[in-house]
């Protein structure tokens, strides 16, 4: 170098300061973004959710006072009904200010609530005129219909707020991880430049340290006779290699802990249970499909386990393809083990998915049988009592539990219901899908 030692040191400080400024500015920007998201979550989403709860309680209170006035003719019940109505409108105004995204829902709520108030006024007039049958007809008819629509709209708004909260949380996590990665990367680059300038300035010191480090590694590895002499060794380079080795090891441990099925590479029991529990905790409406093969054991005993594994692998592939074609990234496909698979999807897509599975399975399964067996329509194999028996060409049974019409509180309830449906499905000598409430598709 042609620069003096003082200039070299000064230049190294300038480079370090520049990198530190970049890291600091980026960290502050990331923190500001995360703070903005947090503020939206706390001051908007949570506040809106709280007011929607109050709105729901307020609507229930109005319904109570309406019934109380109709049944007991208490004047204060009508006054309380009106007071709750004013509180309801005030809450709507607050929610509009907090979360403009709910404007369509709030407009519908306002319309139905106004109609609800007018209908109650008509009911008051009829009660005053001693026309109780007409008042009761309004109460049980149009008034109740408007009240039910109000509750449904409040629930819809609450679901949208929960979805918005999940989006904010996911975005915050993603931004935090990206900020951490970039900050660490910039910090590592800054340290590399710092070490590089220090190395150029104090070459004789770093060379000695490099030799000592190489000797330490040789001793630690048990090589006491042949200690290597490394020239130009860089401590940060060694540190980078150590990080890579640690990363490779962590990745290996992670893969070992994953319960993916070794044949289909699909998520296994732990992942299935976690997915199911997550959806139940988030009160999502979903369909749980248990997919099982009929006469698979007879096929295995007749043709061997290798051929049976080919069928399982093929089934996993077509399920994955169908999920890609008809499902969404949020849908889940898992492999319990053996010939049992699981699909979790939205109830509005489950019908098409099940139909496609049955269609493709019935069309393709015959390819795994010998031609003469396909022609006969059956095979002779060994049953569970080790006796010869006739088994038809494999069929597929799909048992479906829909949480939009069946109350499910915990994963074991899904398992019990879907197992019962599967046993029922296996009583039919063909491929079919059985849904909860005994509906055959």
Buried b (16+ CB within 10 A) or exposed e, 288-317: bbbbbbbbbbbbbbbbeeeebeebbebbbe
**Angstrom distance (rounded) from CA 407 to CA 18:** 60
- pLDDT score, position 256: 40
- pLDDT score, position 6: 64
Inter-helix orientation angle 47-72/103-128, to 10°: 10
The answer to whether 98 touches 51, Cβ cutoff 8 Å, is yes
Query: Encoding tokens for residue 416?
Result: 């019990």
The answer to whether 119 touches 142, Cβ cutoff 8 Å, is yes
> What is the layout of strands, in order, in the sheet containing 395-402?
332-337, 340-345, 287-294, 395-402, 432-435, 439-440
CA 396 and chain centroid, separation: 28
**Angstrom distance (rounded) from CA 265 to CA 333:** 11
Per-residue pLDDT of the chain (441 residues; tens, 9 = 90+): 455 656 666 666 677 787 678 777 777 877 777 777 776 666 677 878 888 888 888 888 888 888 888 777 777 888 888 888 888 888 888 888 887 778 888 888 888 888 888 888 888 888 888 888 888 888 888 888 888 888 898 888 888 888 877 887 777 777 777 777 877 877 777 777 667 766 666 764 455 445 445 445 544 444 444 444 544 444 444 544 554 545 444 344 455 456 678 888 899 888 888 888 888 888 778 999 999 999 998 898 888 989 999 999 999 999 999 999 998 989 999 999 889 999 999 999 999 999 999 999 999 999 999 989 888 888 888 777 778 888 889 999 999 998 887 777 788 888 888 898 999 888 888 999 998 864 434
The answer to whether 117 touches 84, Cβ cutoff 8 Å, is no
Residue 382 DSSP class: E
Q: How far is CA 69 from CA 18, 58, 113, 114, 121, in A?
A: 75, 16, 18, 19, 12
The answer to whether 160 touches 105, Cβ cutoff 8 Å, is yes
**Angstrom distance (rounded) from CA 360 to CA 366:** 11
Domains of the chain and any CATH numbers? 14-176 (1.20.120.1730), 269-440 (3.30.70.270)
**Angstrom distance (rounded) from CA 272 to CA 260:** 10
**Share of the chain residues as helix, strand and coil, in percent rounded to the nearest 5:** 70, 10, 20
Query: Encoding tokens for residue 394?
Result: 């494999």
Element (H, E) at 288: strand 287-294
Torsion of CA 26, 30, 35, 41, to 10 degrees: 170
Residue pointed to by tokens 């709209």: 153
Residue 41 DSSP class: I
- pLDDT score, position 368: 93
Query: Encoding tokens for residue 157?
Result: 């708004």
Inter-residue long-range contacts of 313-320, CB under 8 Å, 24+ positions, other chains counted = 313/263, 313/264, 314/364, 314/368, 315/291, 315/339, 315/341, 315/361, 316/261, 316/263, 316/264, 316/265, 316/266, 316/341, 317/264, 318/357, 318/360, 318/361, 318/364, 319/291, 319/343, 319/357, 320/266
**String of DSSP letters for 143-177:** IHHHHHHHHHHHHHHHHHHHHHHHHHHHHHHHHHH
User: Residue 64: exposed, middle, or buried by beta-carbon count in 10 A (0-12, 13-18, 19+)?
Assistant: middle
- pLDDT score, position 355: 94
**Angstrom distance (rounded) from CA 160 to CA 99:** 11
- Phi/psi region, residue 169 (left: phi>0; alpha: psi -120 to 50; beta: rest), is alpha
């Amino acid at each position: 170098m042609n620069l003096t030692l003082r200039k070299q040191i000064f230049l190294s400080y300038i480079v370090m300061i520049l990198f530190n400024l970049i890291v600091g500015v980026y960290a502050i920007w990331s923190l500001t973004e995360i703070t903005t998201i947090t503020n939206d979550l706390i001051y908007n989403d949570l506040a809106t959710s709280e007011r929607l709860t109050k709105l729901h309680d307020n609507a229930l209170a109005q319904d109570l006072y309406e019934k109380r006035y109709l049944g007991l003719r208490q004047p204060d019940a009508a006054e309380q009904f009106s007071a709750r109505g004013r509180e309801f409108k005030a809450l709507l105004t607050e929610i509009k200010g907090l979360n403009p995204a709910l404007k369509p829902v709030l407009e519908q709520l306002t319309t139905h609530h106004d109609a609800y108030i007018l209908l109650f006024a008509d009911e008051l007039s009829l009660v005053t005129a001693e026309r109780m049958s007409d008042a009761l007809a309004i109460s049980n008819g149009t008034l109740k219909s408007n009240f039910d629509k109000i509750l449904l709209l409040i629930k819809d708004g609450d679901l949208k707020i929960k979805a918005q909260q999940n989006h904010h949380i996911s975005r915050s996590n993603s931004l935090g991880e990206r900020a951490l990665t970039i900050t660490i990367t910039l910090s590592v680059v800054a340290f590399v430049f710092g070490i590089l300038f220090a190395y150029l300035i104090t070459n004789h010191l770093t060379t000695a340290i490099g030799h000592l480090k190489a000797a330490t590694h040789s001793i630690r590895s048990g090589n006491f006779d042949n200690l290597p002499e490394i020239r130009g060794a860089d401590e940060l380079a060694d540190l980078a290699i150590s990080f890579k080795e640690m990363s490779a090891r962590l990745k290996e441990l992670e893969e070992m802990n994953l319960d993916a099925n070794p044949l289909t590479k699909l998520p296994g029991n732990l992942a299935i249970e976690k997915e199911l529990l997550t959806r139940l905790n988030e009160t999502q409406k979903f369909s749980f499909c248990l997919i099982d093969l009929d006469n698979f054991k007879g096929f295995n005993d007749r043709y061997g386990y290798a051929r049976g594994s080919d069928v399982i692998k093929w089934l996993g592939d077509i399920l994955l393809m169908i999920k890609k074609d008809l499902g969404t990234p949020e849908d889940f496909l898992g492999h319990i083990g053996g010939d049992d698979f699981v699909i979790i999807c939205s109830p509005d897509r489950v019908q098409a998915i099940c139909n496609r599975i049955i269609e493709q399975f019935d069309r393709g399964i015959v390819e795994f049988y010998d031609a003469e067996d396909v022609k006969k329509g059956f095979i002779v194999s060994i049953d569970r009592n080790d006796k010869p028996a006739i088994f038809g060409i494999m069929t597929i049974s799909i048992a479906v539990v829909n949480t939009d019409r069946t109350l499910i509180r915990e994963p074991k309830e899904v398992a019990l219901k879907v197992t019962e449906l599967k046993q029922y499905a296996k009583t039919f000598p063909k491929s079919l899908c059985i849904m909860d409430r005994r509906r055959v598709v």
